A and B are shown apart, each in its own frame.
Chain A
């Protein structure tokens, strides 16, 4: 028991100490989190009337983040899978960072689900025994199961691995490896189920196609590793942990091909819907061209197309793809932004326009929605920063179990700031 308690305390002490820049970053995020506290207070006391949701467009900015972030969470598998299935040595070294990202992403998902709920005070109605869990009928209950399961799996795998590193032991393979393989399958399931959540409703023709799960997964495996690459580059730059180029190479290839498939699927969808141009394509027409003079998402859609196609072209070129200082991060940020639009607002909102009985409407998020969304992201990044810092400390051996232990002594701060890392 003692090493576990020490693991907690040591990691905590390590995580909360850092450079001025580290604190600055946390305070920057904290500012948005404080704003979110206000937004959450407004929303939970007055109801969702403080958002711009309505009966016509009843999902919006929050659900867009929800769908997108489930993808980011699932994308941890792009690190885990090559590490354990293809024994990619360089990725295996930092596999735990992928798991930390997954934990942070699922936390954000939970935040956005709370904002999505009309009655968050009644969430206990979902609990088995005291409540009613409409499983297996309700797709939402499947989503609750897979998301919570995924969170638990990643926490167990991640923290178990870190703990073993902390105490300087090898992981118990008969315990750890099955969990790893389960979590690989599970990662696919969380995004598949999220796709099923939306594409099993014939009332929303734009969502009602069987391509949804695979499109979700390919876009997730483009956007997720993009974020991982960017965060690894930041880690490379600002910490002592050095992630090998092979890791970036593998990840950027995953981004390239998944992005390519995602673009292909996007084209397939557009052709399938727009060639016959049935009533069921109205949502897509609204998204791409605008309809009946309403065109709120057109700019966003085309921005997403430009971002995704341009970054795909950049990534196709191996020389640019291996350029870790400019082209790769640029392409990753573009991919991330493009998919954030495509699988966020571009997926969620137009499905409600027109309504099932043909009412065309438009939706613009309210100020409260925007600050809550910013705050949600800030919270996620906050969690990821702390988790990643702790994990890096363990990986570097800075956080290490020793018999001689006193809370204040011996411990060496890790250098984080730019100047000192050089």
Chain B
């Protein structure tokens, strides 16, 4: 039991961090505490500031984003902009740009180039306002995989070893087995000898299992192929988290810890706006950027240019060129999820 208590303690929010955040919020004139936001209908009434309480009511009662009229969207976005600006002490914009016509986003990743530096992981975190700790949320996970090594002395070592007919050899070594990758590698330098790296994130499936299982249709596929989540409509049932074969979805187990100075104020309603506790989130191909024409944060940061992004409907785009010139594969293609995230090699 004492063991468990230790763990519980560790899971608590760093008090220093918390007080600083509280202070910043106070300084910004925000009286609405994070706890109030999510404590349920009863607690909603306890907001001391009438305007704030009204905003929270408004958020609580708003419709699913997809079903909102343009006015309702505007109202909702304005409400959020006001609240975020106060809460984080800086002018925050919440975009509601819809999908562009003639655009289907696609991604290609050169696993031969990837060196496992994890810069994409943190570019994503800087851009997308994930909770920084407890829970730490990262949308990209990079696996370190073994290139494998076959040893002569193992050639005739059989399985089973002793009496019986040999049904297998021991010369086998792990080489490129996804399920046996390392997630928490921390060497001095990357790439390491004898290894390669395999980043994974949301594959923006054409047939996303996560969308199918959502009981309230809070997650859906946008016309430009991005699977999005209306964070204000999510009930936190985590069916999507279980159903995703790529482990792409993350859950805000507690109120996100996003320090004001780390917050990116350029946001989109369906993208990187700050989330609340108890909702799912995932990669959106940096919707807030890509719908404005900009590359995703992970593409821009990759120091070896392993990450490629573009419009799958444009034959001249980088991704289409890759599909044309290179051999590509998709992860777990046998599941018929049709990811728009391709892996390739030179």
Contacts and interface: CB of A to CB of B under 8 A. Distances in A.
A, B co-complexed: yes
Interface of A: 44-55, 58-59, 116-123, 125-126, 131-134, 137-141, 144, 198, 200-204, 279, 282, 352, 354-359, 364, 366-367
Interface string B29-46: 000000100111101000
A125 B209 CA distance: 20
Interface of A is mostly: loop
B233 A125 contact: yes
Contact of A119 (B235, B239, B243): B235
Interface string B192-231: 0000000010000000010011111110000000000000
Scoring A131, A134, A198 by chain B CB atoms within 10 A of each residue's CB, the highest score goes to: A134
Contact of A121 (B4, B41, B253): B41
Given A138-B212, A366-B4, A47 B242 contact: no
B277 interface: yes
Contacts of B178: 357-358
Given A49-B134, A120-B40, A134 B143 contact: no
A204 B238 CA distance: 14
B237 A118 contact: yes
B246 interface: yes
B16 interface: no
3 smallest CB-CB distances across A and B, nearest first, come from A118-B236, A49-B254, A118-B278
30 contacts: A48-B277, A49-B11, A50-B11, A55-B135, A55-B247, A58-B241, A116-B238, A118-B235, A118-B279, A119-B236, A120-B40, A121-B60, A122-B233, A122-B235, A126-B235, A132-B216, A139-B239, A202-B335, A203-B243, A204-B242, A354-B179, A357-B141, A357-B178, A358-B178, A358-B179, A358-B180, A366-B7, A366-B11, A367-B1, A367-B8
B56 to A, nearest CB: 11
Contacts of B11: 49-50, 52, 366
B193 to A, nearest CB: 22
A126 B239 CA distance: 14
Contacts of A137: 212-213
Contacts of B212: 137-138
B251 interface: yes
Nearest to A123: B235
B64 A58 contact: no
A118 B252 contact: yes
A118 B252 CA distance: 8
B255 interface: yes
Nearest to A361: B183
B274 interface: no
B65 to A, nearest CB: 11
Scoring B1, B60, B212 by chain A CB atoms within 10 A of each residue's CB, the highest score goes to: B212
A141 B200 CA distance: 30
B66 to A, nearest CB: 9
A116 B250 CA distance: 16
Contacts of A49: 11, 134-135, 253-255, 277
A144 B235 CA distance: 14
Interface of B: 1, 4-5, 7-8, 11, 35, 38-41, 43, 60, 64, 67, 134-135, 137, 141, 143, 177-181, 183, 200, 209, 212-218, 233-239, 241-247, 249-255, 277-280, 335
A203 B245 contact: yes
A141 B215 CA distance: 6
Contacts of A364: 4, 7
Contacts of B241: 55, 58
Nearest to A352: B242
Given A48-B278, A355-B247, A357-B247, A138 B5 contact: no
A59 B213 contact: no
A202 B4 CA distance: 33
Contacts of A132: 64, 67, 216-217, 233
B235 A202 contact: no
Nearest to A125: B216
A198 B215 CA distance: 14
A309 to B, nearest CB: 27
A126 B215 contact: yes
A47 B247 contact: no
Given A356-B245, A356-B247, A119 B279 contact: yes
Contacts of A47: 38, 252-255, 277-278
Nearest to B44: A121
B84 to A, nearest CB: 19
Scoring B38, B67, B246, B280 by chain A CB atoms within 10 A of each residue's CB, the highest score goes to: B38
Contacts of A125: 64, 216, 218, 233, 235
Contacts of A134: 214-217
Nearest to A48: B253
Contact of A138 (B200, B213, B254): B213
Nearest to A357: B247
Contacts of B234: 118-119, 122
Contact of A144 (B200, B215, B243): B215
Contacts of B5: 367
A282 B212 CA distance: 26
A300 B247 CA distance: 27
A131 B279 CA distance: 17
A158 B344 CA distance: 62
B27 to A, nearest CB: 24
